[in-house]
Structure 1
Amino acid sequence: MSEKIKYTFLEWNVQGAGGYPDYSTPNFVIDTIIEKNVDIIVLVEFYIGCNFDYVRQRMQDYYYIFISPFVYKHNQILIALNRNKFKERDINDIITINPMDKKFPEYLQINIKTEQEKIFSIMGTRIKTNCLREKQFDFLNNKIRLIDKVICIGDFNVTNSHACKYLTSTEIYGPRTLDNARWSFVHKDGGKVGIDLIAVKNIRILQNEKDDLSEKEGYKMYAKYDWDFVNKKNGYERLTSSDYLPEFSGKPNHAILLGSFEV
């Protein structure tokens, strides 16, 4: 039996919001990602924006970068693979779809075949809120059914329990959100939800993430929401992770989702 391969990942909705006027990905976003030093990066609500040169220059020495098509006023997906973990020959296919089609979510897929003959797919996705969710989840279900091993990471715009009802072809994972102990987004009315999630088929999510609460109560989690970037230095002033973070501010308003898996 071949040895299992472990991968770490990061997913982040960076609130590109379709590229409102003069949008630039904040430098701290890319700097934070580089500091995390994970194997797989998935950025949703990404938009190439005005400072893509900085994004590319900071990332290209460490990662292979793949981005879904640019369409004015539409979000993109960025997936990056760590050069220390992946080789160019590992990357078999890069698959995307028409971002303007309302039946489809925002979507980018990369098929991997490693030197150890491990074959699996990485999907980055965001379920659009201005379109029928059922049709978008149907698309994901149909894609996943055709694949043996897959990890789909993104902003599902529904909580874990609802994602389980929609995505019937996978298992759904995310940080423990019982009693609003953790969340990845805060609504205008103050409601806290965990909507950045992981869907897997025939892939093992590893239970080794911790935060202050789990350390205190003595357990490990399948994933973690990281809000450390919300601070004065990054332009959030007095805002905290418990606050509604303004729309179209140019700064992320979702937590970073961190985890690891085994193939």
Structure 2
Amino acid sequence: MSDSNRRRLLGAFIRTHREHLPTPAKSIGRRRTPGWRREELADAAGVSVTWLTWLEQGRKVQASVTTLNRLAQALSLSPAERASLFDLAGRRDPDTTAEVPMDLLPQLLELPSQFNGPAYLIDRLWTARAWNCQAAKLFVDWLGADSSERNLLNYVFLNAKAQQFIVDWPERAQRLVAEFRADYHRRPLDSDLQRLVEQLLTQSPAFAHYWQQQAVLLREGGERRFNHSQFGILSYRQTTLVVAMQPDCKLVCLAAID
């Protein structure tokens, strides 16, 4: 998308949402357009009318994060609308903590049970929130009935059995930290994420070593091998799906490799 096209989309987005705002109670005089006037939005957002006019016209003006935040509040944007405003402006929204509800929807928790192979759902802290019986049989020391630790990172780095269970544990653990850092960087103000990292830094020298490398990777699929205490070496093809309605959640599915 070219810069000029993006600016036109941003201007149209702001203008449309301005026109959809309810008419102010103290409105004076006859109104030729629905919603708020540019002057009213400019006043509410603390910007000049000229600047707002140019922005809506798609002209080459810069919108800072602070100004976009005030515009989002003045326009009463929903979380999805706010995200679009920042995306169209080419800015990163600093206020991401309220974008995703912390409680998972029931239909999300039912997803793992729809798969034949091992499948589990992890939340923004990488804590398993739902899994099927195949996953419980595979990850006995993490998702099994006798385990009380459901956080994936705590399991991998603080449970000694994980190092025996996960084939090529050093490589897999190093990659896991780099994948987690990508999520951490998206929510740097999340206090729960910060506490988790601080705990792991204190309790796991391996995690601390990998964390200091500052590596960042996407959570990609690929072959995963496990040394199961009952079934021996098991190989799977892993696919990780991001849930659109709650993008901090990930559905991880494993298909057996013959």
Same fold (TM over 0.5): no
> Which structure would you say has the larger RCO, counting Cα contacts within 8 Å and 6 or more residues apart?
1
The structure having more radius of gyration, on CA atoms, is: 2
Please state which structure has a larger fraction of its residues in helix: 2
The TM-score normalised by the length of structure 1 is 0.28
Q: TM-score, normalised by structure 2?
A: 0.28
